[in-house]
Structure 1
Amino acid sequence: MKTITDFQHKKILVLGLAKSGVSAALLLHKLGAFVTVNDRKPLSENPEAQHLLEQGIKVICGSHPIELLDEGFEVIVKNPGIPYHNPLIAGAITNGLPVITEVELAYLISEAPFIGITGTNGKTTTTTLIHEMFKADEKKAVLAGNIGEVASDVVQTAGAEDHVVIELSSFQLLGIDKFRPHIAIITNLYDAHLDYHGTKEEYAKAKLNITKNQTEEDFLIVNADQDHLMKMTETTKAVIVPFSTKETKETGACVQNGDIVFRGEKIMSLAEVALPGAHNLENILAAVCAVKLAGITNQAIKEVLTAFSGVKHRTQFVREYNGRKFYNDSKATNTLATKSALAAFNGPTILLAGGLDRGNGFDDLIPYMKNVKALVTFGETAEKLAETAGRAGVGIVVKTENMQQAVQSAYDSSSEGDIILLSPACASWDQYKTFEQRGDIFIEAVHTLK
């Protein structure tokens, strides 16, 4: 890691813990800053804060007191999940106090170049593919960000010969200043997280931060099938490398005559790819662009793409049981992701869906439900989804209380040759702490079917 003095002897407030907050606080302490940590969870229920206290770091727990703005802090390192309308953050910005996220810290100390991946959907799959391709070519790369370890942890041991492959959310990208990935990817851009960003324009602006510090020596990989995204990225200084599932792209990646091609060079036949779905083809082409720019061999790319069948909770194949194939797409927390999942399968499908009610409807799923022979619902949106299924002409609708019941009901409603797909179209928080927990319960239920 680089030895920097940017934070030495400066008063820094780390706002919000979780894994990234703990890592940021410990790193800043190591860099010689006077660190104060503030977290809403009471100290008695907060083992992370207790650990930091034992390391000699000042800790304030139980609330976010606005009086902290009077303490003379020079920088705030904010947990990405804390919104900018939080009074403490809003007050800091009004006073001209820099507010950054932990990703910025990681970049400042890293000796390794960054490959940064953002977008509305497909980030995790694209990030995982890139990392797997590096490993297949026996090249050094570390996973960081929303997938893998906290970035400011992994970069401390990464050398100049490594690559930091990092998945980046819009929340993280709002808090950058100098962060500059050598290779950046925007997988796609749809409306999302408007409850956090306020408007789709602000959400898009946050995503585009990934390229704001790039220069002519860097690369920006962009989904060329989205005209609005291509228009938004016209001002970048980086070299644009497009990918497209629909058109030939001489300067990027595309499909030609049934082959995956990068800058005119055949990489492999599309028929050899194990990962299903048109949306995953976009992720594959984005990943191919990144690794080819980084010098990864075609053989390594082919090795991964012929074996890789999905990231856990993202159209993940779970098992085949009595002629039914089960897929876990618990990460589908909005209708856009569920539409992509439904489009990936041509055969009769049993859809498991439901979860947190955010006030939206589900009618945009109707054109994608042509192959859905049964819908099994659960959670707060069960009734809404049932009504949507009725309008879509779905013959069987079953309402259940939880995931275990949903899996059994889906199996009971199925026949040999059916796809049984968990793709909830909703967040999990009405019943489960995370989409991962929801997906794990699905997997367990599938493996214990009667």
Structure 2
Amino acid sequence: MSRSHELQNKSVLVVGLAKSGSAAAKLLNKHGAKVIVNDKKEFEQNEEAKALHARGIEVHCGGHPLHLLDRQLDFIVKNPGIPYSNPLIHTALEMNIPVYTEVELASYLTDALMIGITGSNGKTTTTTLVGKMLEGGTRPTHIAGNIGTVLSEVADKTNADETIVAELSSFQLMGIDTFKPHIGILLNLFEAHLDYHGTLEDYGKAKARLFKNQTPDDYCIYNAEDEYVEALVQDVKGTKVPFSTKRVLDHGAYVKDGQIFFNNELIISLEDVALPGEHNLENVLSAVAAAKLAGGINEQIIKALKTFGGVKHRLQFVTTHNSVKYYNDSKATNILATQKALAAFKNPVILLAGGLDRGNDFDGLIPYLKNVKAVITFGETAPKLVKTATAAGIKVVQHVDNVEKAVPVADEIAESDDIVLLSPACASWDQYPSFEQRGDMFISAVHKLR
């Protein structure tokens, strides 16, 4: 049963606007809370603050003054990006004022079946894939959270007969109290966001909060091949459902003889799965487990696995031209991401890479360049990548001005069954405002080949 009535007359301070803060303020106001909004951007340049002020909501802009804590607050909803070291947030916690993220509001607003997905890598791909697996079922399914639409906003429009698949970050999960997914997935854990969390241990604890309120009637899907993940789920109360790409399990999702199984039931052959790469196989296994536990039907699960080629800019299949496959992995803004992309292919690869580096060299790519027949570089980092490719013994190394010019050069080099892969290993900011625009330029150039 929805607990939205519990928000009535609550005194709530929303700190930090952007998309999640604005949505939280509107929802709290809608459900009868007494809302105060605070954002560091000056009111004159703050369109979100102006819109909330027009609704009659009290707004304070231009900083985070401590006097906002002088009134009797029931709790604070903070934007996930604001660190807990912020003086306003730090002082509020010292005063024992609860500090949540808008994800917590979802637990007040809906009884929908909740599937929560977190991990260092693969969240967006897995969330999207689970959503596609549940399409067309008896329960309307919505995708929300860190992937796009604010979770609490979606929650407010759903009921117990519906399903929400939510991508959740560690920042969001640090600010929950009663929030509970019926099905939770922890994909993996790598060192990331340590500037925010401080240590890998604290980062892992934030991720594991996904399971903190689960009971044995709920499910904890976890990566049985990740030692950090295994340690984090040791004491969860939810029913544990492992997945593994490396061994056959007594239950859960696994690979055997080139086929995917869930709880010993054959689901699909690996050769029929559209998503390439070992790292994506982990995402596939976890998605199969979640979809099956959520009541998904095999026909739709199999259809999704055969047709879903990846999230845009994340090892995304673009098209086949003259028997050559083109993949857009513009999201690969560091060496680790490009290593994973290269490891996904066994066919000869023509690698398009370059952009703005972070002062690093690229020697870490050399062991992954064995299948690479040519490297086409662009951007500020081009000289470093030329050096790396030459050291790896690659015979064809060319430099061009940008991604758009790299594509026709790759087309000239490519032979039947080759892979042309944009996986820059660098940020985009030297030439493009975002990795998304860089990827869009690649896609456009590929389609112009026709």
TM-score normalized by structure 2?
Answer: 0.91
Within 5 Å, which residues of 2 pair with 1:43-442? Answer: 43-379=43-379, 381-400=381-400, 402-411=402-411, 414-429=414-429, 431-442=431-442
**Given the superposition, is the C-alpha separation of residues 13 and 124 from structure 1 closer, same or farther in structure 2, using an over 3 Å criterion?**
same
Shift of 1:53: 1.4
- 8 Å CA contact 1:136–1:304 kept in 2: the answer is no
Rounded Cα–Cα distance in structure 2 between residues aligned with 1:68 and 1:400: 55
What code does the residue aligned with 1:248 have? V
Decide whether aligned partners of structure 1 residues 432 and 31 sit closer, same or farther in structure 2, where only a CA change above 3 A counts: farther
What is the CA deviation profile of residues 102-161 of structure 1, one whole-angstrom value per residue up to 9, with x for unaligned ones? Answer: 111112211212100111111111111111111143432111112242111111121101
Residue pair 1:136, 1:303 contacting (<8 A) in 2 also: no
Tell me the amino acid that sits aligned with residue 300 of structure 1: Q
The root-mean-square deviation of aligned C-alpha atoms, in Å, is: 2.5
Shift in alpha-carbon separation, 1:164–1:35, aligned structure 2, 3 A: same
Cα drift, residue 429 of structure 1: 4.9
SS of aligned partner of 1:222: strand
TM-score by length of 1: 0.91
Q: Is the 8 A contact 1:121 1:337 kept in 2?
A: no
Tell me if structure 1 keeps the 8 A contact 2:221–2:289.
yes
Partner of 1:444: 444
Deviation string, structure 1 residues 223-268 (Cα, Å, up to 9, x no partner): 1122332122111111110111110012101112222111111112
Q: Distance in 2 between matches of 1:107 and 1:422?
A: 40
1:9 CA drift (Å): 2.6
Structure 1 pair 95–385 and aligned structure 2 pair: CA distance change class (3 A):
farther
Deviations 1:59-78 (A, max 9, x none): 23333344434455442211
Which amino acid in structure 1 is aligned with residue 230 of structure 2?
A: M
Please, which runs of 5 or more residues in structure 1 have no aligned partner?
Answer: none
Q: Percent identity?
A: 56
- 3-state SS in 1 of match to 2:134: helix
1:234 counterpart SS class = coil
1:12 paired residue number: 12
Which shows bigger deviation, 75-84 or 369-378? 369-378
- Extract unaligned runs of 5+ from structure 2: none
CA contact (8 A) 2:205 2:232 kept: no
Q: Is the 8 A contact 2:250 2:263 kept in 1?
A: yes
Superposed CA deviations along residues 326-367 of structure 1, whole A, max 9, x for unmatched, are 211122233332222111111222223344544555433222
Q: How many residues align?
A: 450
CA offsets per residue over residues 196-235 of structure 1, 9 Å max, x none? 2222222211111111221211111111122332122111
Contact persistence 2:348–2:373 (CA under 8 A): yes
Q: CA deviation at 1:173?
A: 1.1
Moved more, 297-306 or 113-122: 297-306
Cα contact 2:379–2:402 (8 A) shared by 1: yes
Q: Name the amino acid aligned to 1:161.
A: D
